[in-house]
């Protein structure tokens, strides 16, 4: 039951926030709906979950069309985005969570009709299977985005290794927060970088302890839907 799942996730968000003295309103729950139908997404919106995330361009476009009657949805794209798909989706989304290379940035610049709120994805864990710029490359990457006035760097995004212990999760998320604070401190107009997109079903508690402002939760919300 989605309503029951949501109640449990909200409860855990609340408890995690309480543990570290955070206001639960500072954590935005983004529902990852990549594994479910638009009917389930509709149920989520009826439960006032209006931040929805997809990771495949074609599937996203179909679902957005099926939900076109709901104009309050905030759409997040969380997947690796191929350059040739940029023109299809970039003007259809509110947040892009996976900016990690300059050729993609150039394509976004070319196709976007308004400023796109982007998270720069950082590969903090160093796993070769993961996308993202390395921590060492990050500041140079951010500076290289300056000419692209269609890109606003709202924050950083990462993923912890699957099956990591809580202490490893916290280490990864804490390192992303340090990087975020460094960029925020540079006061770049195009890169305010106040936000942290981190934490999924298995590790959002650790992410909240370390300052996540957007958590991307799929399975825990939509299981048994």
Ligand X SMILES: *Cc1c(COP(=O)(O)O)cnc(C)c1O
Q: Which residues bind ligand X (CB under 6 A)?
A: 32, 34, 55, 78, 200-202, 216-220
* DSSP state string for 84-137: GGHHHHGGG-SEEEEE--HHHHHHHHHH-SSPEEEEEEB--S--TT--SB-HHH
CB of 201 to ligand X, least distance (A): 3
CB of 69 to ligand X, least distance (A): 26
CB of 33 to ligand X, least distance (A): 10
CA angle, 114 then 91 then 216, to 5°:
105
128: its two tokens: 């070769």
For ligand X, give the closer residue by CB, 29 or 108: 29
Q: Under DSSP, is residue 201 helix (H, G, I), strand (E, B) or coil?
A: coil
For ligand X, give the closer residue by CB, 38 or 201: 201
Please list, in sequence order, all residues whose beta carbon lies within 8 angstroms of the beta carbon of residue 78, skipping any fewer than 6 positions away.
30, 32, 53, 54, 55, 97, 98, 216
For ligand X, give the closer residue by CB, 28 or 68: 28
- C-alpha 191/C-alpha 115 separation (Å) is 12
CB of 162 to ligand X, least distance (A): 9
47: its two tokens: 């439960």
For ligand X, give the closer residue by CB, 56 or 111: 56
For ligand X, give the closer residue by CB, 187 or 221: 221
CB of 180 to ligand X, least distance (A): 17
Judged on CB neighbours under 10 Å (0-12, 13-18, 19+), 162 is exposed
In the complex, residue closest to ligand X by CB: 218
CB of 143 to ligand X, least distance (A): 25
Q: 207 with 169: CB under 8 angstroms?
A: yes
For ligand X, give the closer residue by CB, 59 or 220: 220
């Amino acid at each position: 039951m989605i309503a029951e799942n949501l109640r449990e996730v909200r409860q855990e968000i609340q408890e995690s926030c309480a543990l570290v003295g955070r206001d639960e309103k500072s954590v935005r729950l983004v529902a990852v709906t990549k594994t479910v139908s638009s009917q389930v997404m509709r149920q989520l919106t009826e439960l006032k979950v209006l931040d929805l995330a997809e990771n495949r361009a074609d599937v996203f476009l179909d679902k957005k069309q099926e939900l076109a009657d709901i104009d309050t949805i905030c759409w997040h794209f969380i997947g690796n985005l191929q350059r040739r798909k940029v023109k299809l989706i970039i003007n259809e989304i509110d947040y892009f969570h996976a900016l990690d290379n300059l050729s993609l940035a150039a394509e976004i610049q070319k196709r976007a009709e308004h400023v796109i709120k982007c998270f720069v994805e950082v590969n903090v864990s160093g796993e070769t299977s993961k996308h993202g710029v390395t921590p060492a490359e990050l500041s140079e990457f951010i500076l290289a985005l300056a000419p692209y006035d269609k890109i606003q760097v709202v924050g950083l995004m990462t993923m912890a290794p699957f099956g990591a212990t809580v202490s490893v999760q916290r280490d990864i998320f804490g390192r992303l927060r340090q990087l975020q604070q460094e960029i925020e401190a540079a006061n770049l107009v195009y890169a305010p970088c106040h936000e942290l997109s981190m934490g999924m079903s298995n590790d959002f508690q650790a992410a909240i302890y370390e300052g996540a402002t957007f958590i991307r939760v799929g399975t825990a919300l939509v299981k048994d839907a």
